[in-house]
Amino acid sequence: MEKHILSKSSFIRGLQCPKSLFLYKNFYKERDAISPQQQALFSRGTDVGVLARQLFPGGVDASPSSPFKYQESVKQTQKLIDEGASIIYEAAFIFEKTLIAIDLLVKKEGQWKAYEVKSSTRISPTYLLDASLQFYVMTGCGIHLQDISIININTEYIRKGKLEMDLLFKMTSVKNEALKNQQYIKENISRLLDVAMDTRQPETPIGTHCFNPYPCDFMGTCWKKIPENSVLNLSGTAKEELFALYNSGIKTIEEIPADLNLNEQLKLQVDSLKLNRMIIDRPGIKKFLDTLKYPLFFLDFETIMPAVPFFEGTHPYQHIPFQYSMHFKESASSNLLHYDFLAEAGLDPRRPFIEQLIKDTAVPGDILTYNASFERSILNSLKKEFPQFSDEIDYITYRIKDLMFPFEQKLIYHPRMKGSHSIKNVLPALVEDLNYDSLKIGSGSIAMSAFEQLQNETDLFKIADARDALKAYCEMDTYAMVRILEVLEKVTL
């Protein structure tokens, strides 16, 4: 059997950037490490793929025993077809040195239909190319495909009791698009096989393609000489404009001419970096602080967004609040108190979450959050789901103020914020002794994935460890807000 040189993912990689394909083939170990956020996304895709098998139960799994043994799968697939199997999971084929696997291959009334499962809610142009390549390889191997479809998640589905697979998933035939793309696929297989087998590395410069359709995992290689003060690290405008500047010879922020027309966001970043100091609009900050009244709560929610709804009455990718941290200060000089809530895994957390929050915020006082639209939207959903708590939820929502406002409005800006008003950039710029580096969980998406994993965890040590890490992370978010407010109060003295 011929060995493959391209796979579905390396084909898409090569379309994104031929240099990325060359590096992948020749310098595989130089790839950037996968972040915990990306890892969580990959495993979500796999889980949904396995679940979708229930749409066509009773099939035979042709998956390889390891990702490096796809030849096994190709042989097994052929054997299953020869033996008359009618449902094959992870059927694999090689044609023109290109390997593909398809999640579900189903024979009905003598005709084959192929289904690729995606955990997303929409069909992207890249998914259409995936399906076009799968169609090309399968038909090239002599499979007469009556249809090829993408199965993805139906956001309209609301869980009532047991999962109903035919409602959770929706199928869309993409055969017409696949047929239109066949010549394009053929030409690009040939072009990318040349790239993959060449001994010379393509001279592809960095560009917007480094991020599209996926962030390239060779940025650590290609971007390592890009300095921190590069114009490419500015934010607040399209990447195309930054590359135009960079390619015109203006590589660093210091080299930007004073008379260059920049939008307000860019100008602030450039001025602050050139002056190497914080830029502060003291009257603007004072006006914001005057809107706050002690006692003050500092509140932050964490949510999960399961692709497959865990709980009754919820829909795919719904934000389900499972944790909050809250600091409380009676007055500017009083002691800081801390309260928190972390739901038990496996149970619907929404009702205990809102009941506890109502108790913890019962005394009057403004409630500071960072990016208030998020907390407000969660409270809004809870109000609809638990109308019996409407008045209490309104009382919380009414008192919410947004600590992000002065940073979003650039009333205060430090070069270390790197153009961002995210708390993860604002905190280290303003409060040097505090950061998320030593925490086991350092971002909302990792917290989300940690709690999702707890749903099926039985090891008590792992559960205790994850719960401690979640509590420490969420507490840091609200303690960061306390310290950021102190900085704002100080600069206006």
Q: Which residues pair with 279 in a beta bridge?
A: 413
Q: Determine, following the binding rule CB under 6 A, whether residue 101 of this chain makes contact with ligand SF4.
A: no
Q: Determine, following the binding rule CB under 6 A, whether residue 23 of this chain makes contact with ligand SF4.
A: yes
Q: Determine, following the binding rule CB under 6 A, whether residue 195 of this chain makes contact with ligand SF4.
A: no
The residue (of 203 and 433) whose beta carbon lies closer to ligand SF4 is: 203
CA separation (Å) from 267 to 73, 149, 273, 279, 463? Answer: 56, 48, 10, 12, 48
**What DSSP string runs through 353-403?**
HHHHHHHHT-S--EEEESSHHHHHHHHHHHHHH-GGGHHHHHHHHHTEEET
User: Rounded to whole angstroms, how far apart are CA atoms 239 and 208?
Assistant: 6
Q: Determine, following the binding rule CB under 6 A, whether residue 204 of this chain makes contact with ligand SF4.
A: yes
Residue 146 CB, shortest distance to ligand SF4, in Å, is 37
The residue (of 233 and 435) whose beta carbon lies closer to ligand SF4 is: 233
| Nearest alpha carbon to residue 49 among 307, 346, 319 | 307
Q: Determine, following the binding rule CB under 6 A, whether residue 148 of this chain makes contact with ligand SF4.
A: no
Number of residues that bind ligand SF4 (CB under 6 A): 12
Residue 21 CB, shortest distance to ligand SF4, in Å, is 8
Residue 217 CB, shortest distance to ligand SF4, in Å, is 8
Residue 253 CB, shortest distance to ligand SF4, in Å, is 21
Residue 30 CB, shortest distance to ligand SF4, in Å, is 10
Residue 198 CB, shortest distance to ligand SF4, in Å, is 15
Q: Are 470 and 342 in contact (CB under 8 A)?
A: yes
The residue (of 210 and 273) whose beta carbon lies closer to ligand SF4 is: 210
**Other C-beta atoms within 10 Å of 257: how many?**
6
Residue 11 CB, shortest distance to ligand SF4, in Å, is 15
Which among 98-106, 215-223, 429-437, 452-460 is the span making contact with ligand SF4, rule CB under 6 A?
215-223
- Pick one of 85, 219, 487, 491: the residue that binds ligand SF4 (CB under 6 A): 219
Q: Determine, following the binding rule CB under 6 A, whether residue 242 of this chain makes contact with ligand SF4.
A: no
User: Rounded to whole angstroms, how far apart are CA atoms 71 and 62?
Assistant: 11
| CB hemisphere CA count around 98 (13 angstroms) | 29
- Pick one of 12, 15, 17, 102: the residue that binds ligand SF4 (CB under 6 A): 17
| Residue 118 burial by Cβ neighbours in a 10 Å radius (0-12, 13-18, 19+) | buried
Q: Are 146 and 178 in contact (CB under 8 A)?
A: no
User: Rounded to whole angstroms, how far apart are CA atoms 262 and 418?
Assistant: 16
DSSP letter (8 states) at residue 33: P
Residues ≥6 apart with Cβ < 8 Å to 171: 115, 149, 150, 151
Q: Determine, following the binding rule CB under 6 A, whether residue 378 of this chain makes contact with ligand SF4.
A: no
User: Rounded to whole angstroms, how far apart are CA atoms 492 and 134?
Assistant: 62
Q: Determine, following the binding rule CB under 6 A, whether residue 246 of this chain makes contact with ligand SF4.
A: no
Residue 225 CB, shortest distance to ligand SF4, in Å, is 12
Q: Determine, following the binding rule CB under 6 A, whether residue 20 of this chain makes contact with ligand SF4.
A: yes
Which among 121-129, 185-193, 201-209, 415-423 is the span making contact with ligand SF4, rule CB under 6 A?
201-209
Residues near ligand SF4 (CB under 6 A) are 17, 19-20, 23, 204, 206, 209-210, 216, 218-219, 222
